[in-house]
Chains A and B, each alone.
Chain A
């Protein structure tokens, strides 16, 4: 039972254009959402997060949008740069306890020069 889903295994974008990564979730109790970026042979690094009380959070080139009614979040990267090529995971947290995260399957983003 996959509570957090990233339906696109891969995405290819031209350098300088916008990258949009999508994530859907099924559990309406999730109250905190995060995006992580992972390079090969390294651990995931925290990128940006959003609380369920907000619908948008921006940090430089990265913006996360949350649509609670659709149970959907997206990560926008603009402009995309070659160093953004990585696997991106979305994750969600439940309203309880030790802040367990539930991760999606990941989307491999490739930025083409």
Chain B
């Protein structure tokens, strides 16, 4: 079974802080993704990566950056946290080989910015 692990389930930070959210997958997946989930908006893609050191902007990248130094690890960085970044953050991974591979999700990090 695929295991996607997010380092924190709950996190509380203050506005202006630099925040790191970590995600690790154990299935040697090439693709990794960061989403945020907000009520009534579903999941929205922030950034994704299809290889080590490669990154692509998703639909809502503003205020975020990412880092992928190793294949199994994908970090989301809030450069200067703001209250509108309070949300549930979900990491996912998928195989790149072939077509139509489902994404596998971690359990999420509920981030509150005070």
Contact = CB atoms under 8 A, between A and B. Distances in A.
B105 interface: yes
Interface size class of B (residues with CB under 8 A): 20 to 34
Contacts, number: 65
A29 B44 CA distance: 19
A45 B107 CA distance: 10
B80 interface: no
26 contacts: A6-B42, A34-B102, A36-B105, A41-B108, A42-B107, A42-B108, A43-B4, A43-B90, A46-B103, A46-B104, A51-B100, A89-B42, A89-B43, A91-B43, A97-B56, A98-B31, A98-B96, A99-B94, A99-B99, A99-B100, A99-B101, A100-B33, A100-B45, A101-B45, A105-B42, A106-B42
Given A91-B43, A99-B31, 10 more contacts: A32-B99, A41-B108, A43-B105, A45-B105, A46-B102, A98-B50, A99-B101, A100-B58, A101-B45, A102-B45
A44 B4 CA distance: 11
Contacts of A6: 42
